[in-house]
């Protein structure tokens, strides 16, 4: 066994979605439809924020990057998953598998830190409104975004390098629809304690740091809201962070289940269900959550449509 290493595996076989061929075909078509909605929703959100000057604020700057990340990590695996089912090609190369894993972890980790940055932004807007324009400057916004991506890349590099050095002796069949860490760890025929420890430290530190920032921000926000005398003022304050809090709840409730557990507790069925939620459903829901529940975005859509209609009338 000592003479065999991870490079002896030329590639992996993605078993894809659970069920019969007909079920997999239906699910892949559903994945494709959801992906198209995800692309339209997130690209639309980015364009709306870019086109409307009134949305050029820190909160919508972060929301632009949230849409970019949702679109990116959904694009890492969905086209490949649909292609595998439609063409009956389930193979993925060793390099392709770990490249897919690397970018997926980068985008997921970056979204964790981005969500905490958005919570900090809401904390400043509600708890320190007079200092908000000074503290949340353009320079700080860009610095926070840069930190999100840099730390995410470092985490992903450490995880992927560790997992890629594992031994895969007899089986190269991944019981999942994309190259995720848990199903690949389940394939290894060697001791994965150090790799699991690295994964737990990286994922755990990201989760703890992000959730601590989010929890601390919202505890301060709640304390401030309770001090507001008018009911209208409380509703207005809550409305500015309700969408973000809903998005955080959906994202973390599924991603924590998928990553913060040992290899021995891996279950292909349960993990695929959890993965579908945070990799397929959440990127589709976020644009809806932040647009349908946001009056400013609705007004921006109306302004853009009115401006376009006005330009069309002038043209004719």
Cα→Cα distances 252→93, 129, 218, 300, Å: 30, 28, 15, 29
Q: Confidence band (pLDDT; 50, 70, 90) for 281?
A: confident
Q: Which one has a higher pLDDT value, 192 or 210?
A: 210
pLDDT the model gives residue 77: 85
Q: Confidence band (pLDDT; 50, 70, 90) for 114?
A: very high
Q: Which one has a higher pLDDT value, 301 or 206?
A: 206
Contact residues for 214 (Cβ-Cβ < 8 A; gap 6+): 115, 116, 119, 248
Q: Which one has a higher pLDDT value, 182 or 61?
A: 61
Structure-block tokens of residue 148: 């999100």
- How many Cβ atoms sit within 10 Å of the Cβ of residue 266? 17
Q: Which of 264, 190, 200, 194 is nearest to 6 (CA)?
A: 190
Q: Which of 164, 155, 134, 250 is nearest to 202 (CA)?
A: 155
Return d(Cα 100, Cα 178) in angstroms, integer: 8
19 conformational bin, left if phi > 0, alpha if psi -120 to 50, beta if neither: left
DSSP state of 227: T
Structure-block tokens of residue 20: 């019969």
Return d(Cα 39, Cα 32) in angstroms, integer: 10
Give, in words, the CATH class of 6-315.
Answer: mainly alpha
Lowest mean pLDDT among 65-74, 126-135, 253-262: 253-262
CA 297 to chain centre: 21
pLDDT the model gives residue 138: 94
**Mean pLDDT, rounded, of the chain:** 83
Q: Confidence band (pLDDT; 50, 70, 90) for 139?
A: very high
Lowest mean pLDDT among 3-12, 59-68, 108-117, 156-165: 3-12
Q: Where are the domains of the chain?
A: 6-315
Positions of E strands within 142-214: 173-174
Query: What are φ and ψ of residue 5, in 5° steps?
Result: -130, -175
Q: Which one has a higher pLDDT value, 39 or 289?
A: 39
pLDDT the model gives residue 262: 55
Residue 88 has pLDDT above 80, yes or no: no
DSSP state of 13: E
Lowest mean pLDDT among 48-52, 122-126, 160-164, 177-181: 177-181
CA dihedral 26→30→35→36, nearest 10 degrees, is: 110
């Amino acid at each position: 066994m000592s003479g065999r290493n991870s490079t002896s595996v030329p590639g992996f076989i993605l078993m894809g979605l659970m069920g019969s061929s007909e079920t997999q075909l239906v699910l892949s078509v559903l994945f494709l439809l959801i992906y198209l909605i995800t692309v339209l929703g997130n690209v639309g959100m980015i364009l709306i924020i870019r086109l409307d000057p009134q949305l050029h604020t820190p909160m919508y700057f972060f929301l632009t990057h949230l849409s970019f990340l949702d679109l990116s990590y959904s694009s890492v695996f969905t086209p490949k998953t649909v292609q595998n089912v439609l063409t009956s090609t389930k193979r993925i190369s060793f390099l392709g598998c770990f490249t897919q894993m690397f970018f997926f972890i980068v985008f997921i980790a970056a979204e964790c830190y981005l969500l905490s940055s958005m919570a900090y932004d809401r904390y400043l807007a509600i708890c320190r409104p007079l200092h908000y324009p000074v503290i949340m400057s353009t320079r700080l916004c860009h610095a926070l975004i840069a930190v999100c991506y840099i730390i995410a890349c470092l985490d992903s590099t450490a995880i992927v390098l560790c997992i890629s050095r594992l031994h895969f002796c007899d089986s190269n069949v991944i019981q999942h629809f994309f190259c995720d860490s848990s199903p690949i760890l389940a394939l290894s025929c060697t001791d994965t304690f150090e790799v699991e420890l690295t994964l737990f430290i990286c994922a755990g530190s990201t989760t703890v740091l992000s959730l601590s920032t989010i929890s601390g921000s919202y505890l301060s926000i709640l304390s401030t809201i309770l001090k507001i005398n008018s009911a209208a003022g409380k509703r207005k304050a809550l409305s500015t962070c309700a969408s973000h809090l809903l998005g955080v709840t959906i994202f973390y409730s599924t991603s924590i289940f998928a990553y913060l557990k040992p290899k021995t507790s891996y279950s292909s069925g349960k993990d695929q269900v959890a993965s579908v939620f945070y990799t397929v459903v959440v990127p589709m829901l976020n644009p809806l959550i932040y647009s349908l529940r946001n009056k400013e975005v609705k007004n921006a859509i109306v302004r853009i449509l009115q401006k376009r209609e006005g330009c069309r009338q002038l043209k004719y």
